[in-house]
Amino acid sequence: MLSKEKDKEICDLLMGWHKLETTLAGGAAVVDFNLLEYEGGRDYSSRYEVLNHIKALLNDQEIQKDVHSYARLKAQDAFLRNLMGEHWDFKRYIESTLGFTPHLFSKEEIEVEKARLIRQLNEFDIAFDVQTEKNLNDADVILSPEEAQKLFLDIYARNRPLIEEIVGKIDDFRVNVEMVYEDSYWKNWVDGGGLNYRLRFNTKNYKEFPRSVCICLAFHEMLTHFVNAMCWRQVMINEQMPQHFGMTTVHGPESFLMEGMAQTLSQFIDSADVKCSIVMLREQMSLYRFLIDNNAQIMLNEGSSIEECVNYIIEYLPYKNAEEEAHDLKSWVNNPQFRAYEFVYPMSYYSFIQIGRTLNAEEKKDFIRYIYRNWLLPHDIKQKFPNLLLNTL
């Protein structure tokens, strides 16, 4: 493990850079969670000064020997360079930030997941066509915004004992819930530190609040991101993990394990909340959607036109709106943060689904403990499960 001096230097880098970005017009969010509420931070006058500090750390022999810390800093270097105007080719950028190689899903893989989706839709007498989402929402229970917020908190309270049986006691934490409007792809976003966290609902993407969607996202945000954060926090308090890992970044390689687990937790625990048919249908629809997004994002970043990418999406997802898809596509190329972060979902989701389909009940519990208690690279997960489709560095 890193010396405390080097660990502190990386903490000061990340927090100092984060503070600098808040002073810049259109500045990027560097730190997402600040689990130990680190209050330090070096004073930087420019991004160029931050870049020079990252370069110096990457040349440090102690850091070069720590594979995880070095990978984190390589991701920060790539992200910052692209923020400053460089525009790396997609393969190099994803390998440098997220730690795995972009991979197109084959037509056969897509058709397998589509067939699973159609079988589940048939249970509700819903056709796979332009009206699929509307008809599914009609079959669901639509909540008010206030009911949706309460459901998130109730889901956590009901399932907390179940998750504590696996990962151990979770410290009590507070959640401040906000309704916001942001012109971005996400429905919910969580951040914070210590014992105080924030859960945001993006009303741009919540035109309605279907109960089954809210259940899926409550497992994602409340029972994975928040619980994962509390577990890492305890490991760091016990000095079993460098503190700089407590300053998470959505553009870094930690996103692979965080989002992979968040998307699939329901596959790994025996909760009545996610065993109902409509919730399982929503999750299969989400998985299928991500496979298409993955391929469209690679196509766009490798030179396909917006029209070609939108047509590809609509061919496989006829219930999506072409204009909305075209609007969201721009961040897949132009926003250095979302260019990495949005791409982590498909491959992490599919990889964790593959893992979950091969494990028995006790092995699934072991896997949750493994993810919630360790800071891991995609390469670490690939080594543990070598048959994964995932290609890592």
Domain edge (last residue) among 51, 66, 97: 97
Please report the pLDDT score of residue 276 as a whole number: 87
Residue 205 pLDDT more than 90? Answer: no
Query: Average pLDDT, whole number, for the chain?
Result: 95
Please report the pLDDT score of residue 280 as a whole number: 95
Residue whose pair of structure tokens reads 């159609």 in the numeric block: 118
Domain edge (last residue) among 65, 97, 129: 97
Please report the pLDDT score of residue 264 as a whole number: 96
Residues 139-193 pLDDT 10s: 999 999 999 999 999 999 999 999 999 999 999 999 999 999 988 888 899 999 9
Which amino acid is residue 19, in one-letter code? K
* Mean pLDDT, residues 334-362: 92
Does residue 85 lie within any of the structural domains?
Answer: yes
Residue 15 pLDDT more than 70? Answer: yes
pLDDT band of residue 311 (cuts 50, 70, 90) is: very high
Q: Are 46 and 138 found together in one domain?
A: no
pLDDT band of residue 265 (cuts 50, 70, 90) is: very high
Residues 31-84 pLDDT 10s: 999 999 999 999 999 999 999 999 999 999 999 999 999 999 999 999 999 999
What 3-state class would DSSP assign to 209?
strand
Does residue 390 lie within any of the structural domains?
Answer: no
Q: Are 307 and 380 found together in one domain?
A: yes
* Mean pLDDT, residues 363-385: 94
- Answer whether 329's CB lies under 8 Å from 306's CB: yes
C-alpha–C-alpha distance, residues 236 and 35, integer Å:
9
pLDDT above 70 covers a percentage of the chain that reads: 99
Helix (H) or strand (E) holding 52: helix 47-58
Cβ partners under 8 Å of residue 115, min gap 6: none
Cβ partners under 8 Å of residue 256, min gap 6: 98, 99, 100, 344, 347, 348, 376, 377, 378, 381
Residue 289 pLDDT more than 60? Answer: yes
Q: Are 174 and 116 found together in one domain?
A: yes
| Domains of the chain: total | 2
* Residue 52 domain boundaries: 4-97
- Answer whether 117's CB lies under 8 Å from 289's CB: no
Does residue 247 lie within any of the structural domains?
Answer: yes
pLDDT band of residue 133 (cuts 50, 70, 90) is: very high
Does residue 308 lie within any of the structural domains?
Answer: yes
Q: What is the torsional sign of CA 155, 158, 160, 166?
A: negative
* Mean pLDDT, residues 9-17: 98
Helix (H) or strand (E) holding 238: none
* Stated pTM of the model: 0.95
Q: What is the torsional sign of CA 248, 254, 260, 266?
A: negative
Using CB atoms within 10 A of its CB, is residue 279 exposed (0-12), middle (13-18) or buried (19+)? buried
Please report the pLDDT score of residue 393 as a whole number: 54
- Answer whether 272's CB lies under 8 Å from 259's CB: no
Bridge partners (DSSP) of residue 192 are 33, 197
Domain edge (last residue) among 46, 74, 97: 97
Q: Are 93 and 119 found together in one domain?
A: no
Does residue 350 lie within any of the structural domains?
Answer: yes
Q: What is the torsional sign of CA 236, 239, 241, 247?
A: positive
Q: Are 69 and 145 found together in one domain?
A: no
